[in-house]
Structures are given as C-alpha cells and as structure tokens.
Amino acid sequence: MIVIKKAAKELFSIYQRGYLIGLDNTPVAEYSDGMIYSENKENFKRYLDYYPNSPTSKLIKLLFELEGDYEVMGEEMDKAQRKSLQKL
C-alpha cells in the first residue's frame, strides 16, 4: 500500500506542476518577463472559485504573487509543492 501511495503522490506532483508551471511547449507564463498568460490566469481564477481550500489553490495564489520572474516562479513553486505534498 505504501508503494501505491508513493506512486500516486509522484504522479500527482507531475500533473500538478504541469498545470501550474506548464511544459516546455505549453508554458503558463512568458519566459522573458514571467507574466502569466491571460487564458491561464482565467483558468486559475476559476479553479480558485471551485476549489478554494485545495492544496493546489494555495500554490496558485503563490504563483500569482511570484508573477514577473519565470525562473523564480519555477524554483519557488517547486519548493512550495514539495512542502505541500509532505502533508498528503
């Protein structure tokens, strides 16, 4: 059972990070200035409305605070995500 939980957390982590930061071919923010694309921002706001108390919502709020520096966004989101996943 522990192996399954670990695998599930790992998959969740991968999908959550993809949603929050994006992938190489589908980033959520402009690399040059770190500004979150409007369509992603709208999606994040809807998520916050539907799931205000979820662990992912806390990370979205942090992402909004970090907007403006893509590299810092990624680094800080990784740290916050690891901390968040320890609670699961």
Which tens digit of pLDDT belongs to each residue from 25-58?
999 999 999 999 999 999 999 999 999 999 999 9
Residue 47: left (phi > 0), alpha (psi -120 to 50), or beta?
Answer: alpha
- What integer is the mean pLDDT of 1-29? 92
| pLDDT band for position 80 (cuts 50, 70, 90) | very high
